[in-house]
Structure 1
Amino acid sequence: MIPENASEIACDNNRIRIELLGRFVIEDNRQNFEEILNGITLSGTYDITDWTFEAVRVLFKICHQTNQRVTLKQESRYFMVVQYPSELMLDIFAEAIATGKF
């Protein structure tokens, strides 16, 4: 018997996995992280505290390409991007978020 909240459990498991992996993404494994994010529907709030620049960049890229909206939590601050910047500005935006300068 499948629990009624099975889809919620799957979403929570994906969110937890993504939040943990985001702390370790570097240029060498960026493609793998991108494939993981491409394989799921992103929704809800993701805690990006201690994420690498590469991970934040990939998250923004995927959300921009697939027109998905997520809420980001970084320490005690929350962000919800209403309109993602153009491809050229995504790196600057991701760096500002990842380094806490935004």
Structure 2
Amino acid sequence: MTSESHRNNLGTYEERLRIESLGPHITRDMSEQFAEMIRESISSGVIDITNWTVDGVGALLQACSEGNLRVTLKYENRYFMLSFHIPPQSIDTVAQSIILGTL
């Protein structure tokens, strides 16, 4: 691993930690900006969404769907890898289902 690739991996790790720490505080008013931050920062990996708001999870789902991101969602001890496009009108329902454990 070169020092450049190590720096890139570290940057991705730091971005993921920043996004994970913001997720529990996202409101509907912030969700579009949060989705944009996710699209610009992450292209793959595992994101721990435990304790996130529904709006935060919805923004992540929106970013993944629009940005064609390959992200695995971790909620407590469950993992989700969504390999399909979620219609915009269904994002809140899917986010709520993940948090409630009904998906």
How much does 1:33 deviate?
A: 1.4
> Runs ≥4 in structure 1, deviation > 6 angstroms?
none
How much does 1:9 deviate?
A: 0.3
Task: Summarize the Cα distance change of 1:34–1:85 in structure 2 as closer, same or farther, 3 Å threshold.
Answer: closer
User: Higher helix fraction: Structure 1 or Structure 2?
Assistant: 2
Task: State the TM-score, normalizing by the size of structure 2.
Answer: 0.86
Indicate the residue corresponding to 1:62 in structure 2. Answer: 63
- Rounded to whole Å, the distance in 2 between the matches of 1:67 and 1:36 is 14
In structure 1, runs of 5+ residues without a counterpart are none
How much does 1:3 deviate?
A: 2.9
Count of residue pairs brought into register by the alignment: 101
- What's the secondary structure of 2:3's corresponding residue? coil
In structure 2, runs of 5+ residues without a counterpart are none
- Equivalent AA in structure 1 for residue 20 of structure 2: E
Indicate the residue corresponding to 1:48 in structure 2. Answer: 49
- C-alpha contact (below 8 Å) 2:36/2:63 kept by paired residues: no
- C-alpha contact (below 8 Å) 2:34/2:59 kept by paired residues: yes
- Rounded to whole Å, the distance in 2 between the matches of 1:23 and 1:61 is 16
How much does 1:32 deviate?
A: 3.0
